[in-house]
Structure 1
Amino acid sequence: MSLLAARRLFTIVRVIARYRLDDQLLALPLPWWVRLLLALMPWRWLPRKAAPANRGAALRLALEELGPIFIKFGQLLSTRRDLLPPDMADELAKLQDQVPPFPAAQARARIEQFLGAPVEELFARFDSEAMASASVAQVHSAQLHSGEEVVIKVIRPGLAPVIRQDIAWLFLLAGLLQRVSSDARRLRPQEVVADYEKTIFDELDLMREAANASQLRRNFEHSPLIYVPQIHWDYCRSKVLVMERIYGIPVTDLKALADQGTNMKALAERGVEIFFTQVFRDSFFHADMHPGNIFVSRETPWSPQYIAIDCGIIGSLTPEDQDYLARNLLAFFKRDYRKVAQLHIDSGWVPADTKVNEFEAAIRSVCEPIFERPLKDISFGQLLLRLFQTARRFNMQVQPQLVLLQKTLLNIEGLGRQLYPDLDLWSTAQPFLERWMRERVSPVQLLRNLQAQAEQVPHLSHMARETLERLSVMQHAPAASKRPVWPSRVLGAGLLVGASQHGLLLIPAAWPAWLMLVAGGYLVLRR
């Protein structure tokens, strides 16, 4: 163990003791020997600072003291409401991603290192004071020689070794919890840490973020709904990103929005429309839509437009997930719980041997009390959250893409209700989903699907010929030791011609591909 690792372990243990997180561990049904080991820890015999009465607050304060990497982990953990108790998830959602900025000289040095030129040559103006500082990067304003105002995002120096060390300890703690507690095993702590590891290292690659922003901008080009700042690719590297500077109003500044006469109802409804457009039209949605990443344009307040930044975390769904999710939501609108249960089984989200009647009854018990309230008082995100928690009793596997989607929906819905308390998300979402489902089975879309299937025919035919050639060679392999086999070849008439001691072999080479094409066309038209 290195000195750095040992010091970090000591710090983690000190913070656990200070906020009495070990008391929370003792409240779990642990084996007797683990409880004894915890009770004998030296710090339990020393006077300690009184921990907050709220266990979620104690965990939040501990993560804040452990530093940026643990803060980021707490933020990610707060999105896993399908795994955490509500009180802990609510407290972790309060974590602020604000840390002291690193020195401007280091920021300048990193910009010059990755862009390969002095800052004075790259920019007409560079502002040393950081505009914002977060756990993995900080932002400086600047001006290009062409006169365009930009912002420069710079990854903090020396993060990677610290992240690897902290993640190693997180895996160790998660593994220990998973071994000693059945409740902890249900929460799958090692999977949560692995998910965090992937997320944090993806965020360290600003070229990935730039590509995401560029794609999102192209998806909504000339759209009145949302604007995504332009990426200046000539100035982008893995640790430096330069993009257009925006001057919108923070979406949480309700006074400024009201002062400019913003149509708050339209603003709230457009947020919902943007979400469903990204999920179902594009299958490419901004999955980090917390208020700090959303602004409102100062132009056309009567027809407000959002501005989105920080595209480091993006979610997507497969066409199958899109279809099942849309049909699930529409079944919810109609209170068709039988269909909801059957769709969960058909999609593979719950095991195929799940009893539909029992699952339907569990869903009804969750949904009916909620639907008795006025539609505007129903939280769509909370409904999905409770549904997923219910489905977990039927061994529903955690679907990462659905967790991201649920988190984003909760953010969008909460923000919409803050902007316009009477927001009826249902009346906004249902027409969109019904229109999307109709377009999926329209003649134009069916023709496109058929064309996509037809484009696969040459590839399928080639695969079929290769397979048949291999089968032919394998079938006559024993006889090859007696007499040589001539090389097989494919004639233009679609017959595979081979030779063995028994004479010529004539095998139709392309019929599997044509059969697959016909079957595929039938399924597309039937759907």
Structure 2
Amino acid sequence: MNPSVRKTASQREAASQREAASHRNGRPPDAGPAAPEPGRSSPPDPEAAASNKASGRASDGSPYAPPGADAPSDAADAPDRPTDGLEDVEPTGDAPDEPAPRERTGFDPLAPYRGAFKRFFTVYRHVLGLLLGGILAYVRALPPGERGGFNHLPARFAAFCARPVVKRSLRDLPFARQLRRRLEILGPTFIKLGQIMALRKDLLPSTITSELSSLMDRLPEVPFSQVKYILERDLGRPLHELFRRVRKEPLGSASIAQAHLAETLGGEKVVFKVIKPGIREVITSDLKLLEAVGVLLQWVLPRYQPQQIIEEFSAYTEKELDYTFEADNAEIFSANFADTPGVVFPDIYHDLSTGDVLTMEFLRGLKPGSDEALALDEATRERVIDLGAEAIIRMLYQDGFFHADLHAGNLVILPDTGDEEAPVKVGFIDLGMVGRFGPKTRRSLLYYFYALVRGDVERATRYLLGMARLGEGADPQGFRRAVGDLVRRFRMQGSRSELSVAQLILESLSLGGKYRIFFPVEMTLMVKALITYEGVGRMMEPELDITAVSRRHVERIFHRRFDPRKVGQELMSGAPELVDLAVDLPQLLAEGAGFVKERLNRPPPSRAPLEGLRSGILAGAFVVGGSIAAVGGGSWFLWGPLFAAGLLLAVFGSS
């Protein structure tokens, strides 16, 4: 959002005073304005809000119900009431009311996960049960002709002993389903771990990742009395001094938080998210247990890198428990796309946000799969697809800062904004999980994707391998051949509208585990973003040529990357270091040569072993000096003679 039009806290306070004055003068309050236009903070015409029908509670599987989902029209028959389900907030006193104890309300969805000592044994019981269940599943999957031989006798004996120990409801299930069921039993932390595991198709078998993709991240809703208490406690004011109206029924409830629609004192529609009480303590305790479990599983199943997966999961989850990170992410995205009016992110209300509460602009629009979105005219649909492709490719390959939890529920289509510069806009919400690529990785990804969409198999494979980490016993040549065959096979089959660049990248990453080649988790999150873009694009335009759209945007970034002015700016930014290197290099070489000369002039115990060594060491010194100059970006006339001198000494020096 443009900072020049952002409402400050003082402006909002002035708006609330004007609102209070209108009540004192007997004027009726605003009948419920629509959400502010992206890029603006002031509410639009109230008649525009009345023309937008509310479309019901969000039902997608997003971690938090998206702010872009419209509210239900439970008051549509009352002309003097807004159709968004909001209720007026009545003054109840200045001090926040302590919610009723859990013993009286009967509400404590986290009760099964409390108690560190009990939790410790619960987790280890399920880990052990999963290992024993895996033995049962392995024996059950053996061909009938092999079950009776001696080759699998230890496994059959272990399965015989394990069968009475494993829960009856799980013992006959396939291993992947056992894993999913046990993660669901263990609660929200382990469900989120399973969702991260579902992304690691490069490390885990497809049967496991497919099964884990159906995990649902949900817990019962928190009563509004507890939500109200958290708001008043964290923001330090009674609810009626924070919001004019609030919808008590949540837009959505997930394991960590739940979201509500509200209206500020200034009449702006917002969504606030509240971290559920007690969830931080439970997840923090579970993460410590998972670290110990990861050590055990790494010893048992090193091929699947369980310790790495758990460490990645812990890093992302800890940030999801603090909304200041999501607020910062929204600000960074808005700044990155300040020159792209067609791509918007919700404005953050910092005066109504803390680590446990996040209040943001309500983007009222259409969900990509809704009937209204599919009914848009062809030109609008094509513009939406183009904006989405531009945004995602730019996040990944230009900014290196991207939405890491991207799915259709986290996208909002704003088809008629009234903005002449950008009449159609695409909004991104739920920005708590982001991925980052460093400059080197970002360049490699850009070159890889560019080579891929242009059909350059050899270069694409080389760039992909350059971003990998080689494990013990890695076979990079075998991986290179396998990926090359995969790319050629993809390009030979199917029409252009059926080709999926994201699926091609995903299958390439999946080959890594077979050849002991591993990729960072950000690579799989990148693929998730690309799959979302392709899925939404084909949902709105079934005959869409994904490769052509992707090529157009990635070529634009590629050419911008090698723009002479930009290259010159990058060279100038590194000029001070190059100048320092050129100035210091003669002194460094002189000191190095003096050191070598001093060592060579020492009388050795025996001259025989050192015959010819002097020329070899001097040659090595010249070659090393030339290498330093070359790597540091020095001119060829500086490092060229050094290399030549080293070569001459090595060939013609006395032996």
With the length of structure 2 as denominator, give the TM-score of the two structures: 0.64
Partner of 1:282: 399
Secondary structure class of the residue paired with 2:340:
coil
Q: CA deviation at 1:103?
A: 2.0
Q: Which deviates the most, 339-348 or 447-456?
A: 339-348
Q: Structure 1 residues 124, 163: CA separation in 2 closer, same or farther (over 3 Å shift)?
A: same
Q: Is the 8 A contact 1:272 1:425 kept in 2?
A: no
Secondary structure class of the residue paired with 2:307:
helix
Distance 2:126 2:474 in 1: 44
Q: How many residues are treated as equivalent by the alignment?
A: 474
Distance 1:52 1:277 in 2: 47
Residue pairs, 1:193-342, within 5 angstroms: 193-221=310-338, 223-253=340-370, 255-261=371-377, 263-299=380-416, 304-342=424-462
Q: CA deviation at 1:70?
A: 1.8
CA offsets 1:137-190 (integer angstroms, 9 cap, x no match): 11122222111111111111112321133223333433333323xxx2111111
Distance 1:47 1:140 in 2: 40
Q: Is the 8 A contact 2:468 2:520 kept in 1?
A: no
Q: Is the 8 A contact 2:407 2:532 kept in 1?
A: yes
Residue pairs, 1:89-238, within 5 angstroms: 89-180=209-300, 184-221=301-338, 223-238=340-355
Partner of 1:5: 116
Q: Which deviates the most, 335-344 or 6-15?
A: 6-15
Secondary structure class of the residue paired with 1:285:
strand
Secondary structure class of the residue paired with 2:390:
helix
Q: Is the 8 A contact 2:389 2:553 kept in 1?
A: no
Distance 1:347 1:83 in 2: 16
Matched, 1:69 2:184: no
Partner of 2:533: 412
Matched, 1:362 2:505: no
The residue type paired with residue 5 of structure 1 is A
Partner of 1:480: none
Q: Structure 1 residues 8, 39: CA separation in 2 closer, same or farther (over 3 Å shift)?
A: farther
Q: Structure 1 residues 408, 21: CA separation in 2 closer, same or farther (over 3 Å shift)?
A: farther
Distance 2:632 2:166 in 1: 77
Q: CA deviation at 1:69?
A: 1.6
Q: CA deviation at 1:122?
A: 1.9
Secondary structure class of the residue paired with 2:193:
helix
Matched, 1:442 2:563: yes
Secondary structure class of the residue paired with 1:44:
coil
Distance 2:317 2:468 in 1: 29
Q: Is the 8 A contact 1:344 1:350 kept in 2?
A: no
CA offsets 1:116-149 (integer angstroms, 9 cap, x no match): 2222222222333322111111112222211111
Partner of 1:479: none
Distance 1:464 1:234 in 2: 52
Q: Is the 8 A contact 2:133 2:175 kept in 1?
A: no
Of 513, 518, 535 in structure 2, the residue corresponding to residue 397 of structure 1 is 518
Q: Is the 8 A contact 2:476 2:517 kept in 1?
A: no
Distance 1:215 1:369 in 2: 40
Distance 2:136 2:202 in 1: 23
Partner of 2:75: none
Q: Structure 1 residues 50, 118: CA separation in 2 closer, same or farther (over 3 Å shift)?
A: same
Q: Structure 1 residues 141, 273: CA separation in 2 closer, same or farther (over 3 Å shift)?
A: same
Secondary structure class of the residue paired with 1:295:
strand
CA offsets 1:397-433 (integer angstroms, 9 cap, x no match): 3223322212222232233223322222211112222
Secondary structure class of the residue paired with 2:633:
helix
Distance 1:230 1:213 in 2: 7
- Larger Rg: 1 or 2? 2
Q: CA deviation at 1:23?
A: 2.3
Q: Is the 8 A contact 2:133 2:171 kept in 1?
A: no
Q: Is the 8 A contact 2:397 2:445 kept in 1?
A: no
Q: CA deviation at 1:236?
A: 1.7
Distance 2:240 2:154 in 1: 63
Q: CA deviation at 1:195?
A: 0.9
Of 480, 504, 520 in structure 2, the residue corresponding to residue 383 of structure 1 is 504
Distance 2:203 2:322 in 1: 28
Q: Is the 8 A contact 1:132 1:138 kept in 2?
A: yes
Residue pairs, 1:420-459, within 5 angstroms: 420-454=541-575
Q: Structure 1 residues 135, 296: CA separation in 2 closer, same or farther (over 3 Å shift)?
A: same
Q: Structure 1 residues 132, 447: CA separation in 2 closer, same or farther (over 3 Å shift)?
A: same
CA offsets 1:291-350 (integer angstroms, 9 cap, x no match): 221221242699642221111111122222222222222333344333234334555655
The residue type paired with residue 133 of structure 2 is D
CA offsets 1:47-92 (integer angstroms, 9 cap, x no match): 8236685544443333233322222111111111112222322222
Q: Structure 1 residues 160, 448: CA separation in 2 closer, same or farther (over 3 Å shift)?
A: same
Q: Which deviates the most, 300-309 or 329-338?
A: 300-309
Q: Is the 8 A contact 1:268 1:423 kept in 2?
A: no
Q: Structure 1 residues 110, 3: CA separation in 2 closer, same or farther (over 3 Å shift)?
A: closer
Secondary structure class of the residue paired with 1:249:
coil
Distance 2:168 2:467 in 1: 51
Identity %: 28
Distance 2:166 2:199 in 1: 35
The residue type paired with residue 132 of structure 1 is G
Q: Structure 1 residues 336, 48: CA separation in 2 closer, same or farther (over 3 Å shift)?
A: same
Secondary structure class of the residue paired with 2:261:
strand
CA offsets 1:442-497 (integer angstroms, 9 cap, x no match): 22112211231236579x58x979x99xx99xx9xxxxxxxxxxxxxxxxxxxxxx
Distance 1:98 1:85 in 2: 25
Q: Structure 1 residues 227, 404: CA separation in 2 closer, same or farther (over 3 Å shift)?
A: same
Distance 2:437 2:170 in 1: 46
Of 133, 136, 150 in structure 2, the residue corresponding to residue 23 of structure 1 is 133
Secondary structure class of the residue paired with 1:519:
coil
Q: Is the 8 A contact 2:453 2:550 kept in 1?
A: no
Distance 2:475 2:225 in 1: 64
Secondary structure class of the residue paired with 2:115:
helix
